[in-house]
Amino acid sequence: MSRPHRLHHRHAAMSWAPPLLLALLLGACGREPVPDELPGAASEPAGAVRLLAEHVRRNDLQAFARDALPAEEHARLAEAWAEGRSRWPLTELPLDEQVGPMLAALSVPGSEQELRQAFDRQLAGQDAALRDAARSLALFGTQYIRTQGDYSDEERAHYVQVVAALSAWSTTAPLGSRDRGHAAIDRLAAAARATGLPGDEALAAAGMEESLRRLGPFAAALKEVLADYGLDLDQSLADLRTGLVEEDGDHAKVRVHYPLAGAEIDTTVSLTRRNGRWYLTDYLEHAASLLAEPAGAPATGAPALPGLPAPPPAQPPDGPAAGR
């Protein structure tokens, strides 16, 4: 079943601000400091969450897909990928369903020059405007997540806090830096070409497993770009801790805590046991929704955060865009 309340305008920003886009798609939440090890850290449900986080830290997207869902759902989603009906598991990660258009834009020969020019027109030197846009997005995003969209209660609590955390990060991140922007474009364009996946048709032809294998280094490059902007996701994942809140039969709730963008992330996630293994309940529900969609439906996935606002207006030649 399609998701009528999802926003699709964020793809308009893909070509000019991939670092900011990736950051704004990430989920995180929380404030409270916690001890070095959470109660119930050795439990199977808590370990299942850490395992997925470690796969992401290692950029092993194939392993993430293997352990995120039972084998039957995994196989059916691989078929849906080849048919263009799904881009799972990218829809559970910062690499969302717009990865095809982003790869296409970055992979074009000579794309760096055009993207640099677009960055200079739209973003270079526009730190104040970008911070204002981030604050506006935080207000809009919070209201949207609380009242709209197809989110679980845990996702709503999670995403409201991530918008606040990343909005705070954006007030100090050098998003308008011309040097950093150009370096990010060069790095991402090279990484996109190295995948050999210049768009959705190539992703479908390669299949889910092979696409995920090739996208691992691209995910690493994206994280390196974000680290250059002061958002070290690998450190966040390395410091992630989990603990068992409760376990009742085939259902469990796990506390997840890690640092992100200067905030202490603290949230809970629900898990369900299938055939002796634990899986995130939201992932199971997202998969069920995807697999229930009719053949020919466009690729969809987990509910995403709202899209970016429009870029700030271009400055005249003698305006701020002329500087760094």
Q: Between residues 145 and 95, which one has the greater pLDDT?
A: 145
pLDDT of residue 147: 78
**Tokens linked to 309:** 């606002």
One-letter amino acid at 184 equals: A
Q: How far apart are the C-alpha atoms of 316 and 324, rounded to whole Å?
A: 15
Q: How many Cβ atoms from other residues are within 10 Å of residue 62's Cβ?
A: 17
pLDDT of residue 296: 56
**Per residue in 86-110, pLDDT tens?**
999 998 886 666 889 999 999 999 9
pLDDT of residue 298: 54
**Per residue in 5-14, pLDDT tens?**
333 333 333 3
Q: How far apart are the C-alpha atoms of 68 and 61, rounded to whole Å?
A: 10
pLDDT of residue 123: 85
Q: Between residues 124 and 135, which one has the greater pLDDT?
A: 124
**What is the average pLDDT across 78-87?**
92
pLDDT of residue 228: 93
C-alpha dist (Å) from residue 82 to 10, 203, 296: 24, 8, 12
Model pTM? 0.77
**Per residue in 44-55, pLDDT tens?**
999 999 999 999
pLDDT of residue 323: 40
Alpha helices in 15-126 (DSSP H): 18-25, 44-57, 61-68, 71-82, 99-107, 111-122
Expressed in percent and rounded to 5, the helix, strand and coil fractions of the chain are 55, 10, 35
Burial readout 164-176 (b: 16 or more C-beta within 10 A, e: otherwise): bbbbbbbeebebb
Domain ranges of the chain: 9-300
Q: Is 316 exposed, middle or buried (0-12, 13-18, 19+ CB in 10 A)?
A: exposed
**What is the average pLDDT across 293-322?**
48
Confidence of residue 149 (pLDDT cuts 50, 70, 90): low
Alpha helices in 171-280 (DSSP H): 178-195, 200-228, 233-238
